[in-house]
């Protein structure tokens, strides 16, 4: 049975990448060693990490005045590292667009010396849209404005990046990095856990503008962007195998035609599913049309029992991980870059069949 993996993360990876990793698994480039067995200071691994960075820079057109860091601790550690490095005894602005924003806000408050201000929120509408941010809402003395560009759980995404004047924008881009047409120059920091759209879990990518390094004394070297940048992500042992897989994913994306091509594919895939939801008399999207994510698409029948029936039958038919997040219920299809269009077509066909069989319930 063909299996389609709709997981929100850790998520589907490109088959050619997995196959290349398999073919090199026990003997990387004739070394007689696996990538997992290489010293992180070896020339073979040095070539991997440098090439991964080079390719990511090319893909995202990252300007030279930004550092690319390969760290650990997940996007969740960035919730603390950002305020620790940027906003001690200062004000930090947040937009609350769902569970991950809330966690970022909570972590900044937890530090104790950051004045956290939530300037906009869609909480009272179950986070079903991205609130509008206008320049007058941004205190120009704030250390940064934090946004979550794609809200993995509720399925919303920013279609354009707010104008924050001189206040750097910090973006949690975990679930739509490499699946958007944002401009890196609009951000002070971009961070993303790799396990959604980049590679395996264990790696966190941070893209940070030079002037945001070393603003404060951070007495924890591992948590100091400046230390990590000065060491080129090799302050300690980085997640070497995850970086290697990320390198292969970046190469795969470039060979496909880079971001313009993958974005076209992502739009086509998402459109297929949104069209099916629009057309259906059974399924609806809880998300306001102007805020809909390309990468995470929730849908519901409006009847929890029917949702459950759908999920049971979908799973039996090879649609893995379609069940919505426990906080939202229903279904959620995560259509990251590596997710094949055939899988969306198969899901749409399955939804039509289910609706015929159950529409009258």
Ligand X SMILES: *Cc1c(COP(=O)(O)O)cnc(C)c1O
* Sequence-ordered strand ranges (E) for the chain: 4-5, 66-71, 91-96, 115-121, 145-148, 150-151, 156-157, 169-172, 189-193, 204-209, 296-299, 319-320, 331-334
210 given a catalytic annotation: no
CA angle 231, 242, 57 (to 5 degrees): 60
Does 175 bind ligand X (CB under 6 A)? Our answer is yes
275 given a catalytic annotation: no
Query: Exactly one of 5, 80, 128, 148 binds ligand X (CB under 6 A); which one?
Result: 148
Query: Exactly one of 4, 45, 94, 100 binds ligand X (CB under 6 A); which one?
Result: 100
d(CA 190, CA 73): 15
Does 311 bind ligand X (CB under 6 A)? Our answer is no
Site string for ligand X, 48-77 (x = CB under 6 A): --------------------------xxx-
Query: Exactly one of 83, 155, 188, 193 binds ligand X (CB under 6 A); which one?
Result: 193
Does 337 bind ligand X (CB under 6 A)? Our answer is no
Q: Give the residues across from 184 on adjacent strands.
A: none
Provide CB contacts within 8 A for 61, sequence distance 6+.
183, 184
252 given a catalytic annotation: no
Q: Give the orientation angle of helix 43-60 with respect to helix 240-256, to 10 degrees.
A: 40
Point out the catalytic residue in the list 46, 64, 90, 100. Answer: 100
Residues in binding contact with ligand X, number by CB under 6 A: 12
Query: Exactly one of 5, 96, 97, 152 binds ligand X (CB under 6 A); which one?
Result: 152
**Which range touches ligand X (CB under 6 A), out of 113-121, 171-179, 255-263, 318-326?**
171-179
Stated length of the chain:
361
8-state DSSP, 352:
H
Nearer to ligand X, 16 or 73 (CB): 73
Interface positions with ligand X (CB under 6 A): 9, 74-76, 100, 148, 152, 172, 174-175, 193, 196
């Amino acid at each position: 049975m063909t299996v389609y993996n709709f997981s929100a993360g850790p998520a589907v990876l490109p088959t050619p990448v997995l196959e290349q990793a398999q073919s090199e698994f026990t003997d990387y480039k004739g070394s007689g060693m696996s990538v997992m067995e290489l010293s992180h200071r070896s020339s073979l691994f040095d070539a991997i990490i440098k090439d991964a960075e080079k390719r990511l820079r090319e893909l995202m057109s990252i300007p030279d005045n930004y550092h690319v860091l390969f760290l650990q601790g997940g996007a969740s550690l960035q919730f603390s590292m950002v305020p620790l490095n940027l906003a001690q005894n200062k004000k930090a602005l947040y937009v609350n667009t769902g569970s991950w924003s809330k966690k970022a806000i909570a972590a900044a408050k937890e530090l104790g010396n950051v004045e956290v201000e939530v300037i906009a929120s869609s909480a009272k509408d179950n986070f079903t849209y991205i609130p509008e941010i206008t320049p007058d809402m941004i205190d120009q003395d704030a250390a940064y404005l934090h946004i979550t560009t794609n809200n993995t759980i509720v399925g919303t995404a920013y279609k354009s990046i707010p104008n924050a004047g001189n206040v750097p924008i910090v973006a949690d881009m975990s679930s739509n990095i490499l699946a958007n047409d944002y401009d890196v120059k609009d951000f002070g920091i971009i961070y993303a856990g790799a396990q959604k759209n980049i590679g395996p879990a264990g790696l966190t990518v941070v893209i940070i503008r030079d002037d945001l390094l070393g603003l404060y004394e951070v007495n924890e070297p591992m948590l100091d962007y400046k230390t990590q940048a000065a060491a080129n992500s090799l302050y300690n042992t980085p997640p070497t195998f995850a970086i290697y897989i990320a390198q292969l994913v970046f190469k795969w994306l470039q060979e496909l035609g880079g971001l313009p091509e993958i974005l076209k594919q992502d739009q086509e895939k998402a459109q297929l599913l949104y069209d099916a939801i629009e057309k259906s008399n059974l399924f609806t999207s809880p998300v306001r049309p102007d805020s809909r994510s390309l990468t995470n698409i929730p849908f519901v029948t409006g009847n929890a029992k029917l949702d459950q029936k759908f999920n049971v039958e979908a799973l039996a038919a090879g649609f893995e991980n379609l069940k919505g997040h426990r906080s939202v219920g229903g279904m959620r299809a995560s259509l990251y870059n590596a997710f094949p269009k055939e899988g969306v077509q198969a899901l749409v066909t399955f939804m039509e069949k289910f609706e015929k069989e159950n529409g009258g319930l």
